[in-house]
Amino acid sequence: MFVTKYGERPSKSRGASRMFSQLACAAFLTLSAGSTSLASEAVEGAPDEVQKQDPLHFLVSLDEQRIDVYRGSELIETSPISSGKRGNSTPTGVFSILEKRRKHFSNLYDNAPMPFMQRLTWSGIALHQGKLPGYPASHGCIRLPRSFAKSIFGMTARGNHVVVTRAAATPMPVTHSALPQPLSPSTKVASLSAQNIAMDPALRGAIQPAVLQTPIAAAEPENPHFDRPLRMIITPQKPPSKNKILQRLLNELGYNAGPVDGVVGRKTRAAIELYQEGADLPITGNITDSLVARIYREAGYEKPHNAKLRVRRKFRDVYSAPVTIKGTGEDIGTHVFTALDFKQGDPSVEWIAVSAEGERGGASYEILDRLEIPQKVAEDLSKMLTPGTSLTVTDRSFQRNTGLGTDFVVITR
């Protein structure tokens, strides 16, 4: 696909054709801003390649002073920028477009005009038209050339991802069992053979043999939110107190360890000794990792989880579940995985990955190797999965800039 480069002057020999290509590209992208809405509006009989529209996302490099626009893994536009100057530097991290205003004025800096404003945080960071002197000069926003700001304003929708990094980043295809795949279950249908019909007087003549030969299509799962991409995040959790875990489990098993307060008092030690005696273990009354693991299994639980998955749709929490990250003492970094386009009933979907902190934490596939998703959680995600869904795995906090009216905002600097 032709890549539109803003801020470069085309030669006279190709100026007309280039302008036509830019206009055609912009018109095409404006029509396809919703990655799945075109599927229902496409011309009947059109090939699948035309109907499929991978999600739009933006990668900003502060070192390069450049923004790249991707449709899935394909670069479609690029432009110079001017980011925050010293003392007002633009934060790096994972953002989403929260609000769009064609005409906007700053409420922080002398009512300064901010045309084609697309908000990234409620604290004042946005994409907008502005002057580009060739170096970082803003108060933290990302300034864009007028033609580019206007072009992408027509492409985007609230919720589109914007990843801001120091060095330039590139989305890469990734395949891994930890990434959700769409649920496409087959429906079991009871069958009637011709012999069964012939033997049952009530069925003879009621069902024609030709009907039996007609294949019955499996029912596809209906997802009423199929046009709404999910925003998912996995972060490590502070491990719960070993003492509290043991007290809770001993109480569930009927050993009366007292209140679940983490204080190993007389009741808790007596309960431990009673359990050790019944399990033919050395009676010490002491708490060890092996003792906790054994009691965990006996209580019917899986091993304790050390991370949490959260899911948002339309800027609101819709799901959460415990998961496990192996090697939590090691760096994780910040990695964004995005599902490309697919149709309801498709058995699989392709994913791409962007590492928002370079090599910190390792490559994206190495982070996926460290994830353990319980089977029930994986099934739930398969049912919920929609085109353009993203999964962020990070050891950074998202709490400060995440609230009602936002996706999960992760600041990496």
Where does 286-340 have alpha helices with state H? 289-298
- Beta-strand (E) ranges in 241-368? 307-313, 316-325, 334-339, 351-355
Fold type of domain 4-168 = L,D-transpeptidase catalytic domain-like (2.40.440)
| Number of C-beta neighbours around residue 402 at 10 A | 20
- Beta-strand (E) ranges in 42-112? 56-61, 66-71, 74-80, 93-96, 99-101
How high is the pLDDT of residue 296? Answer: 83
Residue 99 sits at φ, ψ, to 5 deg, of -155, 150
57, 104, 128, 305: which one is catalytic?
128
Q: In what order do the strands lie in the sheet with 161-165?
A: 4-5, 74-80, 66-71, 56-61, 161-165, 93-96, 410-411
Residues 6+ positions from 173 with CB-CB distance below 8 Å: 73, 350, 351, 352, 353
How high is the pLDDT of residue 106? Answer: 76
How high is the pLDDT of residue 400? Answer: 79
pTM of the shown model = 0.72
How do the domains of the chain map onto residue ranges?
4-168, 173-184+229-237+305-411, 242-298
Structure tokens at 273: 């000794």
How high is the pLDDT of residue 258? Answer: 94
25, 104, 141, 335: which one is catalytic?
141
Fold type of domain 173-184+229-237+305-411 = L,D-transpeptidase catalytic domain-like (2.40.440)
CB environment 206-235: b (16+ within 10 A), e (fewer): eeeeeeeeeeeeeeeeeeeebebbbbbbbb
One fold for both 4-168 and 173-184+229-237+305-411? yes
CA distances from 349 to 175, 340, 365, 389 (A): 10, 6, 17, 11
How high is the pLDDT of residue 300? Answer: 76
141 classed as catalytic: yes
CA distances from 94 to 71, 243, 293 (A): 17, 37, 37
Tens-level pLDDT at each residue, the chain (413 residues) = 557 777 654 443 434 444 334 433 333 333 334 333 333 333 333 444 445 689 999 999 999 999 999 999 999 999 999 999 999 999 999 999 999 999 888 776 666 788 999 999 988 899 999 999 999 999 999 999 999 999 999 999 999 999 999 999 999 999 999 999 998 755 344 445 555 555 555 545 554 554 445 454 445 557 889 999 999 999 998 877 888 888 988 998 999 999 999 999 999 999 999 999 999 999 999 988 888 888 888 887 766 788 999 999 998 999 999 899 998 789 999 999 999 999 999 999 999 999 999 989 899 999 999 999 989 999 999 999 999 999 999 999 887 778 777 889 999 98
How high is the pLDDT of residue 6? Answer: 74
Amino acid occupying residue 59: L
Structure tokens at 110: 């002398």
Taking the CA atoms of 349, 350, 352 and 353 in sequence, report the sign of the dihedral they define.
positive
